[in-house]
Amino acid sequence: MKKTLQILTLALLLAGLFTGVALAQDDTPTDDEVNAIASQLYCPVCENTPLDVCPTEACRQWRELIRLQLSQGMTETEIKQYFMDNYGARVLAEPPRAGLNWLVYLLPPAIILLGAFFLFRSFREWTKPKVEAAGVGGERGAASSPEKDDYVARLEEELKKRK
């Protein structure tokens, strides 16, 4: 029993050792790591296709390039910068915040805010109790209620006083 336990312990130790070696040797970036960056880039050949799902040969080469750059220790920012320098800003899923690109970031929220403001104003107008437009000399609705009659009478009295 004791011997079996010793053999088992040794086997476990060796297994752990080899696993460690295997992990240390395998420093090739995984597809998930590559795609995490590729999904933030777009194929310049076929429009509107993210790099991680693009089936063209060009995109396959690019994904391999990302894998190589990751294995060389380049960061995500450095890789994206490399792609922008080499292929232009249009390959970035998120355009750089500069120049006319600011419109992309500022315009939609501005339009939403403006729309919300006008909607708020309109709703407020609609829900406000309507003040009768019948002013001086207005007959429309004047005789519709006793309150109105009273109001018109007072108004006429005021006007007479001013004459």
Partner 1 sequence: MTETTPQKRGVPLWVQIVIWAFLVALLALVGVILGKRQQGTVQPGDKIPDFTLPLFSGYEYEGQSEVKLSDFQGKIVVLNFWASWCKPCEQEAAELEEAWKFYEPSGKVIFLGADYVDTEPEARAYLKKFGITFFNGPDMGTKISQLFRIRGVPETYFIDQNGALYYVKIGPFLSVDEIKSIIDQKLQ
- Chain residues that interact with partner 1, rule: CB under 8 A: 44-45, 56-58, 61-62, 64-65, 84-88, 90, 100, 103, 107, 114, 125, 131, 135, 155, 158
Nearer to partner 1, 147 or 158 (CB): 158
Q: How many CB atoms lie within 10 A of CB 58?
A: 13
The least CB distance from residue 113 to partner 1, in Å, is 13
* Smallest gap from residue 14 Cβ to partner 1 (A): 40
Find all residues with CB under 8 Å of 23, minimum gap 6, and list them: none
The pair of three-digit structure tokens given for residue 124, joined into one six-digit string: 């407020």
Tell the smallest beta-carbon distance from residue 16 to partner 1 (Å): 38
Closer residue to partner 1 in complex, CB, 3/162:
162
Question: What pairs with residue 42 in β-bridges?
Answer: 50
Name the minimum Å distance from CB 159 to partner 1: 12
CA dist., res. 84 & res. 78, Å (int): 10
Amino acid at 49: T
Q: How far is the CB of 5 from partner 1 (least distance, A)?
A: 54
Helices and strands: H and E segment counts in the chain? 6, 0
Q: Which is nearer to partner 1, 135 or 146 (CB)?
A: 135
- Provide φ and ψ at 34, rounded to 5°: -65, -45
Best CA proximity match to 39, nearest among 54, 18, 55: 54
Placement of tokens 């429309």 in the chain = 140
Cβ closest to partner 1, residue 26 vs residue 125: 125
With respect to partner 1, which residue has the nearer C-beta, 16 or 108?
A: 108
58, two tokens? 């060009």
